[in-house]
Amino acid sequence: MSELLDNLKDVQNNIDKSLEKAGRKSEDVTLIAVSKTKPAEMIKELYDNGIRDFGENYVQELTEKIPVLPEDIRWHMIGHLQTNKIKYIIDKVYMIHSVDTLHLAEAISKEAVKRNLTVKILLEVNVAGEDTKFGLTSENLFEEYEKMKDLPGIDICGLMTSAPYVENPEENRQYFVELRRLMVDLKDKGLYNKNDFFLSMGMTCDYTVAIEEGAGYVRVGTAIFGARNYNK
Ligand SMILES: *Cc1c(COP(=O)(O)O)cnc(C)c1O
Compute mean pLDDT per 10 residues along the chain, 232 residues long, and list them. 95 98 97 98 98 98 98 98 98 98 98 98 96 92 96 98 97 98 95 92 98 98 94 62
**What is residue 178's predicted lDDT score, i.e. its pLDDT?**
98
Q: How many angstroms separate the CA atoms of 135 and 100, rounded?
A: 4
pTM of the model: 0.97
**What is residue 59's predicted lDDT score, i.e. its pLDDT?**
98
Q: Classify burial at 231, counting beta carbons within 10 Å of its beta carbon; exposed 0-12, middle 13-18, buried 19 or more.
A: exposed
**What is residue 195's predicted lDDT score, i.e. its pLDDT?**
86
**What is residue 232's predicted lDDT score, i.e. its pLDDT?**
55
- DSSP strand pairing (198-200 vs 119-124): unpaired
Q: Which of 76, 154, 77 is nearest to 118 (CA)?
A: 154
Q: How many angstroms separate the CA atoms of 18 and 148, rounded?
A: 34
Running DSSP on this structure, what letter comes out for residue 125?
B
Which mutation among 8, 34, 56 tests ligand 1's pocket best, with the greatest number of atoms within 8 A of CB? Answer: 34
**What is residue 80's predicted lDDT score, i.e. its pLDDT?**
96
**What is residue 122's predicted lDDT score, i.e. its pLDDT?**
98
Running DSSP on this structure, what letter comes out for residue 122?
E
Running DSSP on this structure, what letter comes out for residue 69?
S
- In this structure, the residues whose C-beta lies within 6 A of any atom of ligand 1 are 34, 36, 57, 78-79, 162, 203-205, 219-223
